[in-house]
A and B are shown apart, each in its own frame.
Chain A
Amino acid sequence: MNESGVLRASLAIAAAGFLALLAYSALHALDYGEEEAYSRDLRRVQAATAELNERVLKSRSALLSQYDPLVHALRDLHALHERLKRVPEFLGRSAALDMRARLRDSEAQLQQKDELVEDFKTQNSVLQNSLHYFPILANSVIDRARVTPAGATVASRIQALISAIMLFDTAADTESTSRVQSAQVDLSNAKQAAQELQLNHELELILAHSQIILERKPLTDGLVKQILAVPLPRIALALEEAYSLHYRSATDRALILRQILFGLASITIVLGLTDVILRLRRSALALELATGELRQANAALAREREKERQLGELKTRFVSMTSHEFRTPLSVIVSSTDLLENYSDRWDAERRSDHLERIRSAAGSMDRMLDDILLIGRAEAGVLRASPAQLNLDEFCRNLVESLEHSSGRSHSIRYSFSGDPQVTLDERLLSEVVGNLLSNALKYSPTGSQVDFDVDANDEQCKFAVEDRGIGIPEADIPRLFVSFFRAGNANQIKGSGLGLAVVQKALDVQNGTIEVQSRLGQGTKFVVLVPRDLGPLAASKSSSNEL
Chain B
Amino acid sequence: MTRNRPVISSVRCLAAVFVSLTVLACLNLFGCGLHEKRHESEPVELDSLGEQPIEPLPLTVDFDVAQAALGEILFAEPRLSGDSKVACTDCHHAEHGWADDQPHSRVVGRPESPVNVPTMYNVRFLYKLSWGGKYESLEAHIDALMTNPKVMASSWEIATQHLSELSSYRQLFAAVFRDGLTPSNLRQAILDYERSLVTPNAPFDRYLRGNAQAVSPEAKQGYALFKSYGCASCHQGMAIGGNVFERLGVLRNFFDDRGHFDNADLGRFNITKREQDRFVFRVPSLRNVALTAPYFHDGSAATLEDAVTTMASYQLGRELSEPDRSAVVAFLRSLTGEYRGNSL
Q: List 16 A-B contacts (CB under 8 A).
A: A65-B51, A65-B52, A65-B232, A66-B54, A66-B237, A67-B244, A68-B237, A70-B243, A71-B243, A122-B244, A126-B250, A128-B233, A129-B233, A132-B230, A133-B230, A133-B316
**Chain B residue with the shortest CB-CB distance to A202:** B317
CB neighbours (8 Å) of A119 from chain B are: 276
CB atoms of A118 and B237 under 8 A apart = no
CB atoms of A68 and B238 under 8 A apart = yes
Give the complex CA separation of A205 and B232 in angstroms: 19
A125 within 8 A of B: yes
CB atoms of A126 and B246 under 8 A apart = yes
Give the complex CA separation of A70 and B237 in angstroms: 11
Q: Tell me which residues from 224 to 281 in chain B have a Cβ below 8 Å from any Cβ of chain A.
A: 230, 232-234, 236-238, 243-247, 250-251, 276, 280
CB atoms of B230 and A121 under 8 A apart = no
A286 within 8 A of B: no
Please judge, given known A-B contacts A65-B51, A122-B280, whether A129 and B244 are in contact too, CB under 8 Å.
no
A37 within 8 A of B: no
Q: Tell me which residues from 114 to 173 in chain A have a Cβ below 8 Å from any Cβ of chain B.
A: 118-119, 121-122, 125-126, 128-129, 132-133
Give the complex CA separation of A80 and B193 in angstroms: 27
CB neighbours (8 Å) of B55 from chain A are: 66, 68
A256 within 8 A of B: no
Q: Closest Cβ of chain B: how far from A74's Cβ, in Å?
A: 8
Please judge, given known A-B contacts A126-B250, A129-B230, whether A67 and B317 are in contact too, CB under 8 Å.
no
**Chain A residue with the shortest CB-CB distance to B53:** A65
A429 within 8 A of B: no
**Chain B residue with the shortest CB-CB distance to A127:** B233
B18 within 8 A of A: no
A75 within 8 A of B: yes
**Tally of A-B residue pairs with Cβ under 8 A?**
57
CB atoms of B316 and A129 under 8 A apart = yes
Chain A positions near chain B (C-beta within 8 angstroms): 65-68, 70-71, 75, 118-119, 121-122, 125-126, 128-129, 132-133, 204-205, 208-209, 212
CB atoms of A125 and B53 under 8 A apart = no
Give the complex CA separation of A399 and B250 in angstroms: 172
CB atoms of A205 and B244 under 8 A apart = no
Please judge, given known A-B contacts A75-B127, A125-B246, whether A66 and B230 are in contact too, CB under 8 Å.
no
Give the complex CA separation of A151 and B247 in angstroms: 35
CB neighbours (8 Å) of A205 from chain B are: 251, 317
Task: Sort A-B residue pairs by CB-CB distance and give the 8 closest, nearest first.
Answer: A129-B230, A66-B236, A68-B237, A65-B53, A129-B233, A121-B244, A66-B237, A125-B233
Please judge, given known A-B contacts A65-B236, A125-B234, A129-B230, whether A208 and B251 are in contact too, CB under 8 Å.
yes
Give the complex CA separation of A67 and B317 in angstroms: 23
CB neighbours (8 Å) of B280 from chain A are: 122
CB neighbours (8 Å) of A67 from chain B are: 236-237, 243-244
CB atoms of A118 and B245 under 8 A apart = yes
Give the complex CA separation of A208 and B318 in angstroms: 12
Q: Closest Cβ of chain A: how far from B203's Cβ, in Å?
A: 20
Q: Closest Cβ of chain A: how far from B243's Cβ, in Å?
A: 5
Q: Closest Cβ of chain B: how far from A7's Cβ, in Å?
A: 53
CB neighbours (8 Å) of A128 from chain B are: 233
CB neighbours (8 Å) of A204 from chain B are: 317
Q: Majority SS of interface residues in chain B? A: loop
**Chain A residue with the shortest CB-CB distance to B234:** A125
Not counting A122-B245, A212-B250, a sample of 19 additional A-B residue pairs whose C-beta atoms are within 8 angstroms of each other reads A65-B52, A65-B53, A65-B236, A66-B55, A66-B243, A67-B237, A67-B243, A68-B55, A68-B243, A70-B243, A71-B237, A121-B244, A121-B245, A122-B246, A125-B234, A126-B246, A126-B250, A132-B230, A133-B316
**Chain A residue with the shortest CB-CB distance to B136:** A78
CB neighbours (8 Å) of B244 from chain A are: 67, 121-122, 125
Q: Closest Cβ of chain A: how far from B182's Cβ, in Å?
A: 24
**Chain A residue with the shortest CB-CB distance to B244:** A121
Q: Closest Cβ of chain B: how far from A437's Cβ, in Å?
A: 118
**Chain B residue with the shortest CB-CB distance to A62:** B233
Q: Closest Cβ of chain A: how far from B306's Cβ, in Å?
A: 21
CB neighbours (8 Å) of A66 from chain B are: 53-55, 236-237, 243
Give the complex CA separation of A204 and B252 in angstroms: 11
**Chain A residue with the shortest CB-CB distance to B245:** A122
CB neighbours (8 Å) of A70 from chain B are: 243
Q: Closest Cβ of chain A: how far from B90's Cβ, in Å?
A: 31
Give the complex CA separation of A133 and B318 in angstroms: 11
CB neighbours (8 Å) of A122 from chain B are: 244-247, 280
Give the complex CA separation of A129 and B231 in angstroms: 8
Give the complex CA separation of A65 and B251 in angstroms: 22
Give the complex CA separation of A67 and B125 in angstroms: 13
CB neighbours (8 Å) of A121 from chain B are: 243-245
Give the complex CA separation of A125 and B250 in angstroms: 11
**Chain B residue with the shortest CB-CB distance to A201:** B319
CB neighbours (8 Å) of A126 from chain B are: 233, 246, 250
Q: Tell me which residues from 46 to 73 in chain B have a Cβ below 8 Å from any Cβ of chain A.
A: 51-55
Q: Closest Cβ of chain B: how far from A120's Cβ, in Å?
A: 10
